[in-house]
Amino acid sequence: MCGINGIFHFEKSKPRDSEIQKMNETLRHRGPDASGIFSEKEIELGHQRLSIIDVSESANQPMKSADGNLILVFNGEIYNYKEVRSQLTEYSFKTESDTEVVLAAFQKWGENALRIFNGIFAFAVWNKTKKELFIARDRMGVKPLYYFADNDVFVFSSSLKSILSTGRSSAKISKAGLIDYLRYQTVHAPQTIVEDIHVLMPGHFIRISEEEGAQFKSYWSVTKNIQPAKYKSAEEVQKMIRTQLYKSVEMQLVADVPFGAFLSGGIDSSLMVAIMSQVRNQKTDTFSVTFKEDQFSEKKYAEIIAKKYGTLHHEIELSVDKFRDMIPEALSYMDHPSGDGPNTYAVSKLTREEGVKMAISGLGGDELFAGYPVFRQLPELHRKKWLRSFPAYARRPFARMYKNIRGSVSAAKKAALLSLEEFDTENIYPYFRKVYMDEQIIKLVNYPNLTPDAVYEITHELVGYKTDGWNLPLLGKISVAEVSTYMQNVLLRDADQMSMAHALEVRVPFLDHELVEKIIPLADTYKNTASPKKLLTDTFSDLLPEEIYNREKMGFVLPYDVWMKNELKTFCENHLNWLKDSGYFNADELERNWNLFIKGSPAITWSRIWILVVLSNWMQQNNVK
């Protein structure tokens, strides 16, 4: 796991002194083990290395192919690199690294190598003979790849901040990005919060040359590459899941450095630890952040799993006050603003301090196996066919009345749902992830018109009528929506930027693309939502104690509401005051929302204020106007 940078210079462009060096320095925390630069007339490539496989200096980057024609910078891991290497007997390998396997495979198969790789990655290959740059990102979007382009250069990096460090970007807030952020606490790819910096979409690659410019192409899609299959029984489905998940975990345990697993005590992390203990011949190191305060701690559940599987368990007790004080530090490492992240920062920081360089995470289990409330609530709305017998104009007065009487965030969302013309997935789903409603955003920002809703557009494109995913089962459609919006643009982004702040690699076996392709198209009858992730817990009932799956989902819940009204009050007020002067926001509406929050109004919860504080902090730290 590493950080990569690059600048492709078109014909009239000239390199600037130390530009690529500055980019490397900006993301040094992602890869502190080694630093490298390759430069010639058309291209500059930079690399910061976190050594995981073949830690020798010979595996440092940028790396040249055996014939010297290809130059590679690579961030990620190819889990099946040994299998791929066995098919490359004609290549003269000098290292035992997966990096060199990427080079050899690309030399032999070109872009088709992407379909052979099983892993998480973002990499760039420079072809000296063709004067062509090839950049690719993994299927699920686990590893980031940002880019900036104008008539002179194409700049790419693992870090948005690294691109900003070049001074080439306008460093201006994107209108569409700001609206998206207020709606969903993030900005959905390919857009970012910055006007002229974008994200390479998961499962895509770019080919760049002087003659052709930049050409984008998809090589994998969550709906185009699914593998529908007819199973005769639930037992057959469970056998498939068991086989596939064991394979994924075992494959992802390849490393030449100390590693372990995050263990919260929830279903997903507990299952990862259970399988790791089954496939390894040695004890697994597990890491839990615990709190003295029982209402915030899952300590007892993590200990149940640690004891059952005899792990080398590390309980890192963190006081709530210490966690609160860590928040500004976590925000300073935030590469792209997000409404979440400090929790991942805390567990990554403390895990890395124990000497571990790689950790297994249970991220992805909720999205694939119907773990969130949306998997129950959205089908319930679909079943209420009687609502459709009333036209939207007849429902709206009742919706407004309900909203005004209750006055809560939940009531506002339910009122909006009742007012919809259509009750299909693409129209309903976005409301389950919204932070601010559109009528609130109109009052908050100084824009007369809002930009299109990114989550609606993504969902419409992937599972709307006459798309590749339109005939998926309903729960499969929700999985596609979750994976392609919230998971990729919030959870995975936060996991990467917060863990790599401490040079800790996080691997996610649930997101093995072969498993994803098989789980999403399963019939809804197999994914019974009577209890969260019932298909998963039924499949692994022999590995998971009943205390783990027969309990209420807790998550990482801390008293932000209290902190923001007390110890973090000045911090929040200072950042909101900065936003008032920024020209982007209506100062009076910001003040009104803050006052409502302080008074405990159910219409403005802490998360709606917090995303504004995070945005202000990020803009100031990165000199974004």
The arithmetic mean of pLDDT across residues 403-428, rounded, is 70
The arithmetic mean of pLDDT across residues 102-114, rounded, is 97
Check residue 38 and give its pLDDT.
95
The arithmetic mean of pLDDT across residues 73-95, rounded, is 95
pLDDT of 514 > 60? The answer is yes
Tens digit of each residue's pLDDT (9 = 90 or more) over 252-279:
998 888 889 999 889 999 999 999 999 9
The arithmetic mean of pLDDT across residues 601-611, rounded, is 93
Q: Is 261 left (phi over 0), alpha (psi -120 to 50) or beta?
A: beta
pLDDT of 287 > 70? The answer is yes
CATH assignment of 234-370+481-549, among 3.40.640.10, 3.20.20.70, 3.40.50.620, 3.40.50.1220? 3.40.50.620
pLDDT of 591 > 60? The answer is yes
In a 10 Å sphere around its CB, with 0-12 CB exposed, 13-18 middle and 19+ buried, how is residue 47 labelled?
buried
Q: How many CB atoms lie within 10 A of CB 261?
A: 30
pLDDT band at 623 (very low <50, low <70, confident <90, very high): very high
Strands (DSSP E) found in 210-301? 213-218, 259-262, 285-290
pLDDT band at 317 (very low <50, low <70, confident <90, very high): confident
CATH code given to domain 2-218:
3.60.20.10
Among candidate residues 1, 2, 490, 568, the one labeled active-site is 2
Beta-bridged to residue 154, according to DSSP, are 8, 149
Q: What is the mean pLDDT of the chain?
A: 90
Taking alpha carbons only, the member of 102, 63, 75 closest to residue 3 is: 75
Q: Is 148 helix (H, G, I), strand (E, B) or coil?
A: strand
Rounded to an integer, what distance in angstroms lies between the CA atom of residue 82 and that of residue 96?
Answer: 9
pLDDT band at 209 (very low <50, low <70, confident <90, very high): very high
pLDDT band at 557 (very low <50, low <70, confident <90, very high): low
Q: State which H helix or E strand residue 317 sits in.
A: strand 312-317
Q: State which H helix or E strand residue 165 sits in.
A: none
Of the chain, the percentage scoring pLDDT greater than 90 comes to: 69
pLDDT of 386 > 70? The answer is no
The arithmetic mean of pLDDT across residues 414-439, rounded, is 82
State which of 192-206, 436-450, 576-590 shows the largest mean pLDDT. 192-206
pLDDT band at 400 (very low <50, low <70, confident <90, very high): low
Catalytic site residue 2? yes
75 CB-near residues (< 8 Å, 6+ apart): 1, 2, 3, 4, 30, 121, 122, 123, 143, 158
230-234, 572-576, 594-598: segment of lowest average pLDDT: 230-234
pLDDT of 231 > 80? The answer is yes
Tens digit of each residue's pLDDT (9 = 90 or more) over 120-143:
999 999 999 999 999 999 999 999
Check residue 392 and give its pLDDT.
60
64 CB-near residues (< 8 Å, 6+ apart): 70, 71, 72, 103
Check residue 51 and give its pLDDT.
84
Please give the DSSP secondary-structure letter assigned to residue 378: H
pLDDT of 382 > 70? The answer is yes
The arithmetic mean of pLDDT across residues 570-594, rounded, is 94
Tens digit of each residue's pLDDT (9 = 90 or more) over 190-205:
999 999 999 999 999 9
Of the chain, the percentage scoring pLDDT greater than 70 comes to: 93
pLDDT band at 415 (very low <50, low <70, confident <90, very high): low
Beta-bridged to residue 215, according to DSSP, are 207
Taking alpha carbons only, the member of 569, 567, 564, 575 closest to residue 606 is: 564
pLDDT of 184 > 70? The answer is yes
Structure tokens at 315: 């309980």
Residue type at position 97: S
Query: Residue ranges of the domains in the chain?
Result: 2-218, 234-370+481-549, 374-471, 560-621
Phi, psi of 313 (to 5 degrees): -90, 130
Choose between 354 and 595: higher pLDDT. 595
Q: How many CB atoms lie within 10 A of CB 550?
A: 10
Q: Contact 5/62 with Cβ under 8 angstroms?
A: no
pLDDT band at 395 (very low <50, low <70, confident <90, very high): low
Check residue 281 and give its pLDDT.
85
With tokens 């290292």, the residue in question is 95
Check residue 493 and give its pLDDT.
96
Peptide bond into 379 cis (omega under 30): no
Dihedral angle of Cα 359, 364, 365, 371, to the nearest 10 degrees: 130
Residue type at position 130: K
pLDDT of 396 > 80? The answer is no
Tens digit of each residue's pLDDT (9 = 90 or more) over 527-555:
988 888 999 999 999 999 988 888 776 66
Tens digit of each residue's pLDDT (9 = 90 or more) over 29-50:
998 889 999 999 899 999 998 8
Q: Contact 120/224 with Cβ under 8 angstroms?
A: no
Choose between 15 and 555: higher pLDDT. 15
410 CB-near residues (< 8 Å, 6+ apart): none
In a 10 Å sphere around its CB, with 0-12 CB exposed, 13-18 middle and 19+ buried, how is residue 129 labelled?
exposed
The alpha carbons of the chain give a radius of gyration, in whole angstroms, of: 24
Choose between 13 and 353: higher pLDDT. 353
Rounded to an integer, what distance in angstroms lies between the CA atom of residue 24 and that of residue 38?
Answer: 12
pLDDT band at 376 (very low <50, low <70, confident <90, very high): very high
Rounded to an integer, what distance in angstroms lies between the CA atom of residue 373 and that of residue 452?
Answer: 26
Taking alpha carbons only, the member of 334, 75, 335 closest to residue 197 is: 335
Rounded to an integer, what distance in angstroms lies between the CA atom of residue 205 and that of residue 112?
Answer: 11
